[in-house]
Amino acid sequence: MGLSKKDTKLVTDPLWDNNPVTVQVLGICSALAITAQLKAAIVMSLSFTFVLVMGNVTISLLRNVIPPKIRIIAQLIVAAALVIVVDFVLKAYVYDLSKQLSVYVGLIITNCILMGRFEAFALGNPPGKSFLDAIGNAGGYSIALLIVAFFRELLGSGTLLGFQVLGDPIKKTGVYAWGYENNGFMLLAPMALVTYGIVVWVQRSRNKALIEDSH
């Protein structure tokens, strides 16, 4: 049996029109900090997706037994346990990337998107809907990270996932033969914010409903 229209919107809305990063402006710390390389952004996206999906479902399963007064503590414990699992897996299988991501994996615990979905959705909805909500919001977060990382690595290093795609800057092949030079500014932290701002501008220019009324 297919998903209902309402359930489908749980997945599709956060991907673009209600994206948690570009529309709700949540979780942008990691979006700005680890997007100089596409590989790091992919690993962070997968890590966040695992924590949010498993966390949302767990909180939903426990929603009727968690005392309201300690619900935030319970949510933090669930998030912390899942982040520890992710951290151990990264250190075991992709140690170099684990070092590169550094504290940002640990900071998933306090990610506004994560805690917001636990509090605003998982505590009041069954596991199935909580799973769909997590998939949608994790997908929206991942799309934002990957778009920023794609352009930062491509324009800053001339590579994608570490592979030269614009040619060889030393031998002057590809676009470098025409005088193109890598824009080192794209690898600096301020350019992450500029790239993020351009993504937000493009999104709002395509959907006027997202533009806030100043009156």
As a whole number, mean pLDDT of residues 141-146 equals 94
* Distance between CA atoms of residues 123 and 56, nearest Å: 8
13-17, 112-116, 126-130: range with highest mean pLDDT: 126-130
Residue range 2-12, pLDDT digits in tens: 688 888 999 99
Q: What is the pLDDT of residue 46?
A: 95
Residue range 149-166, pLDDT digits in tens: 999 999 999 999 989 999
User: Has residue 194 got a pLDDT over 90?
Assistant: yes
Q: What is the mean pLDDT of the chain?
A: 91
As a whole number, mean pLDDT of residues 94-122 equals 89
With beta carbons less than 8 A apart as the criterion, state whether 138 and 53 touch. yes
- The stretches of 107-214 forming alpha helices (DSSP H) are 112-120, 127-157, 189-206
Residue 43: CA count within 13 A, CB half-sphere: 25
Q: What is the pLDDT of residue 214?
A: 52
Residue range 26-78, pLDDT digits in tens: 888 877 888 999 999 999 999 999 999 999 999 999 999 999 999 999 999 99
* Distance between CA atoms of residues 14 and 143, nearest Å: 10
pTM for the model stands at 0.92
Strands 163-164 and 159-160: antiparallel
Concatenating the DSSP letter of every residue in 31-75 gives HHHS-SSHHHHHHHHHHHHHHHHHHHHHHHHTTTTS-GGGHHHHH
Task: Let me know how many helices (H) and strands (E) the chain has, helices first.
Answer: 9, 2
Q: For residue 116, what are the CA distances in angstroms to 27, 119, 121?
A: 10, 5, 8
Coil, strand or helix at 164: strand
Question: What percentage of the chain carries pLDDT values higher than 90?
Answer: 67
Nearest to 27 by CA among 2, 11, 47, 7: 47
